[in-house]
Amino acid sequence: MTVAIVGAGAIGGLLGGHLARSGEDVILVARGAHLAAMQANGLTVRKGRDEFTAHPRCTDDMRAVAEADVVFITLKAHSIPGVATLVGEALKDGACVVGAMNGIPWWYFPDRHLESVDPGGVVARSIPLDRVVGCVVYPAATIVEPGVIQHEEGDRFSLGEPDGAKTERVQTISTMLSAAGFKAPVQSRLRSEIWLKLLGNATLNPISAVTRATLAEMFESEASRGLIRGLMEEVASVARSVEVEVPVSIEKRMQGAAGVGEHKTSMLQDLEAHKALELDALLGAVIEIADWRGVAVPLLRTLYGLTKLAEAVALRAD
């Protein structure tokens, strides 16, 4: 099977490296120094004391996805509209697109696009719903130098069709990821899992950008724990408004996050690197849904405003 990965940064590189090592024909679409290093020396993946180097095909030409049977999009959500038209035009007959990103995905509401996720509906128009397989991403990884990925933790990529069906294609992708060393369960209720992850991403990531705190530091005081609890309760209330019950209690979700320890969220890492933040797909989308469904989310609105300010200050300092 030929697999293209659009946005082969930390998560995309982790995924592509393992798939290439397992024998799949992999095309990584990347750019800049990271692309140049992979083309020259291959892609190195490290975890603890272990490492391996794979040599997938690497390019900056989006048209290369025309060869692929499966296309993983591992870009940050705000970068997807800029490439969606090219990806959609290049897809060959029968190819599917796995949206492996954080937040509410562009395909979540078949009859309604979220402006915060898919401005103008360009992604939904470019990549038809019948081509989409959903994915919730759990690994944490970073690019420690061009061409080198540090795999910090996690090995699960949950998969699911938008309608919950267990189709042959989603089972095939699951088998492929499992053979590459990942856990890849096929979920009939992927929408609930999206909200479970969002319960943390929509709250802890922005808090980290505003405060510069690690996950462990966020849970050190009762005051901060109370704030996090209130924010998560608002996210859960928005989920209920679209008929999703988050499958884990807020207290358990908080305990799990606190247990990760001295970890900087990806949003904090982006802020420190003076990059645009993945805020709208994580938090802006929740607020947009709340407006649509008539749910009060005052804490989330405040956090969104503060995080946008932190982003603006960081970008001005670049």
Q: Is 197 a catalytic residue?
A: yes
DSSP the chain: -EEEEES-SHHHHHHHHHHHHTT-EEEEE--HHHHHHHHHH-EEEEETTEEEEE--EEES-GGGGGG-SEEEE-S-GGGSHHHHHHHHHHPPTT-EEEE--SSS-TTSSTT---TTTSGGGHHHHHS-GGGEEEEEE--EEEEEETTEEEEEE--BEEEE-TT----HHHHHHHHHHHHTT-B--B-TTHHHHHHHHHHHHTTHHHHHHHH---HHHHTSSHHHHHHHHHHHHHHHHHHHHTT---SS-HHHHHHHHHTT-S---HHHHHHHTTPPP-HIIIIIHHHHHHHHHT---HHHHHHHHHHHHHHHHHHHT-
Q: Which of 76, 197, 252, 264 is catalytic?
A: 197
Name the residues annotated as catalytic: 197
